[in-house]
Amino acid sequence: MLRFVPTVLFLLAAGFVQAGNIVLEGRYQQRNIFVVNPVSDDGVGYCIYEVNVNGQVASDEINAQAFEIDLTGYNLKEGDPVVIVLKHKDGCTPRILNPGALEPGPSFECDKIECTAQGLLTWETTGEKGKLSFMVQQFKWNKWVQVGEVMGTGTPGRNSYKFQASLTSGLNRFRVVQKGYEGDIRKSPTAEVTSTAPPVTFRFDKKLKVIQFSAENAFELFNSFGQVVKRGTGTSIEVASLPKGEYFLSYDNKTEKFISK
């Protein structure tokens, strides 16, 4: 987590200099921190004048336009808490190139994921190295759609999770996904279950300008440019406010064309 501490006064060898702190907090992930260090506002020296790691003054060479904070010399084990304080002069702002270096990446292993006929999705993991959300995804409308989220425990032992999903008619496929701060993604295997519920149908009430479904379900309504104009869960969609034209209605486990006249 990166945060900026309000401006305070620090006493330097050259006298009083108005300055601020940048604080980077997280847990050791076996990665170092890379910093861009601009020239100070007065043109004398560089912006950062001191770096602290867990209360210790860092020995890294910081008098440069860019430098690396080497965390390997602090006897840290993976997952240990880390607090880095970058003290800098006023009128300039350093930039951390990899602020997610202290955030956990997706590391889980999923050897069991199942879904019941009632839509209860369960999965077990090992190898988690930090708390990250599991995004629950369902394959429908020819794409993976996020239908929920469950916070991960973040511990490396065996962890069990569950999520109550809503099934479409026919074949249902689910998976869970974790995404790291820097965009890395890890996916579970797929769980499949077939629902015996009858397919959902829809009809358009021209007088009321309402799309009526035969049962409650999730839906997305797209215009001809592929933009979502309506999204939700229910038994009907009010479309009186939509411009006339061609639309595509995704519902239950299918996508069909809809013309608004």
pLDDT at 3: 56
Q: Report, as an integer, the average pLDDT of 231-237.
A: 96
Could you tell me if 36 and 12 lie in one domain?
Answer: yes
Q: Report, as an integer, the average pLDDT of 107-114.
A: 96
Could you tell me if 83 and 162 lie in one domain?
Answer: no
Could you tell me if 81 and 15 lie in one domain?
Answer: yes
Dihedral sign, Cα of residue 132, residue 137, residue 143, residue 145: negative
Phi and psi at 63, nearest 5°, equal -85, 70
> 7-21, 78-92, 247-261: lowest mean pLDDT where?
7-21
| pLDDT exceeds 50 at position 10 | no
User: How far is Cα 173 from Cα 138, in angstroms, rounded to an integer?
Assistant: 6
pLDDT digits (tens, 9 = 90+) for 189-205: 999 999 999 999 999 99
Q: Do the beta carbons of residue 178 and residue 152 sit within 8 Å?
A: yes
Domain boundary (161, 195, 229) is at 195
Q: Report, as an integer, the average pLDDT of 245-249.
A: 94
Domain span at 119? 109-195
**CATH code where residue 129 lies:** 2.60.40.10
| pLDDT exceeds 60 at position 18 | no
Nearest to 175 by CA among 183, 159, 162, 187: 187
Domain boundary (39, 72, 102) is at 102
pLDDT at 12: 31
Burial 232-243 (b: 16+ CB within 10 A, else e): eeeeebebeebe
| pLDDT exceeds 80 at position 1 | no
Domain boundary (49, 84, 102) is at 102
Could you tell me if 135 and 173 lie in one domain?
Answer: yes
pTM of the model as a whole: 0.79
Name the domain count of the chain: 3
Could you tell me if 186 and 240 lie in one domain?
Answer: no
Instruction: Tell me the CA end-to-end span of the chain in Å, nearest whole number.
Output: 51
